Chain A
Amino acid sequence: MSVPLSQMWTVATYVLGQRLRGRRRYPLVLMLEPLFRCNLACAGCGKIQYPAHILRKHLTVEQCLAAVDECGAPMVSVPGGEPLMYPEIGRLVRELVARKKYVYLCTNAILLKEKLAEGLFEPSKYLSFSVHMDGLREEHDEAVCREGVFDEAVEGIREALARGFRVTTNTTLFDGASPMRMQMFFDEMMNLGVEGMMLSPGYSYSKAPDQEHFLRRQKTHELFRKMLESPQRRWKFNQSPLFLQFLMGKQDFECTPWGNPTYNLFGWQRPCYLLQEGYASSFAELMATTHWERYGRKSGNDKCQDCMVHCGYEPTAVNHTFSSWRGFRDAVVATVTGRL
């Protein structure tokens, strides 16, 4: 695994601190969406389908920071929309780094080279560009519905690495993904020099137009087992090994919808990053008034039955690591041996 030690330490002490305080529900990663606007219109994404007056709006840096401070999660993921289109992205990132938050700036990297040349960002152990890459050139360009984007992203990654930034990739796997092609993709990303890769299956949330191409649970297990059964030592994953084992069907986890709370133009999204069932005006209100028992597989909620997405299950995996000797042992063994 490729998560830096300082980040592992921060997360470990944070989780243990929450447990010592007896907090049953706590956030791990804040999903901060400063805008919905994007320079792509991917078939698998329902995030940009809003009227023009909504797409023109964005949060202020002050609103973002107030959310970060109230939430208290040690990691902040900045998706969107395309965060490099956010006019104050440089200032926002500086403020987050100053707060010692581990920032994952989730970008399609089309604008990355340009923004780096503008000097908007400084390399820091707290900042990682998490570049959206859904596979090799053909698969990625098909997923983002525009040809040439893979090459632009690779160029952005090279530039960021050359300037000393941390770069990871984030990949959503759709139905029909080829394990062999994905293994070739892992090799290509490692050859590029990225720090690590993040993987997640897609999810058929109701507003995503590509309903038919998301993976069902069984197919997900099969795909991840084939892809990761004998992982090469050089493949680095920037995520919990237990989450990858869960995707392979080797761990049985329940969803932690409050683990990655989402804040955007409309407020704090209930109950999670994917389902959009309403909004709370504060993080405290979100935590106190959301009917959490209605979500996750055990709840019987239809919308949750096939979901295995990172935003619900990676927090579970991290919590499991620090809440049982077995979880801790499994995580250590996978980290040390590279076997999943």
Chain B
Amino acid sequence: MDRGGSLEGAAPEIRDAATLADVVDKAFDYRGDVTLVRADGSEVVGYLFNRDAEAPEPFVQMLEASDGHPHRIPYRDIRAIRFTGRDTAAGNSYAAWLKQREAARSVGSQPDA
């Protein structure tokens, strides 16, 4: 399956505030779970559904994969974000569906042996 440049499996390096903001934005756009590593080394695995970089205290919000528990985590508490969950948007292109449909039709239209 063509996963078209998906971040699935990526673990981008966070060096400073700019790269942190960039990685958070990528995680916000990512349609799969991520693993967020906090400053104390603890990890939260779940879907990152919100972020506000312009709030007085910038934060992200996540829903934990195991139990749906909501988390609000300040940017300053983020050490790393790994793209550990399956990217549900990857490989789902319209072109891929057309190709599948044509393949199915050609199989269906073959005369019986």
A residues whose Cβ falls under 8 Å from a Cβ of B: 41, 43-44, 46, 49-51, 53-54, 57, 145, 206-207, 209-210, 212-213, 265-267, 278-279
Contacts and interface: CB of A to CB of B under 8 A. Distances in A.
Contacts of B46: 53
Contacts of A267: 50
What is the size category of the interface that chain B forms with chain A? Answer: 20 to 34
Interface stretch (B14-22, B26-34, B74-82): B26-34
A50 B94 contact: no
A51 B86 contact: yes
Given A51-B47, A51-B85, A209 B52 contact: no
B31 A207 contact: yes
B94 A212 contact: yes
B31 A50 contact: yes
B44 interface: no
Contact of B94 (A44, A49, A51, A279): A44
Contact of A49 (B31, B95, B101): B31
A272 to B, nearest CB: 16
A51 B68 contact: no
A266 B49 contact: yes
A281 to B, nearest CB: 9
Contacts of B86: 51
Contacts of B52: 278
B interface majority secondary structure: mixed
Interface in B62-102: 63, 65, 68, 85-86, 88-89, 92-95, 97, 101
A139 to B, nearest CB: 13
B50 A279 contact: yes
Given A212-B94, A266-B50, A53 B65 contact: yes
A209 B89 contact: yes
Given A49-B31, A266-B61, 18 more contacts: A49-B88, A49-B92, A51-B31, A51-B32, A51-B33, A51-B85, A53-B65, A53-B68, A54-B47, A57-B63, A206-B29, A207-B89, A209-B92, A209-B93, A209-B94, A212-B94, A267-B50, A279-B49
A207 B28 CA distance: 12
Contacts of A278: 28, 50-52
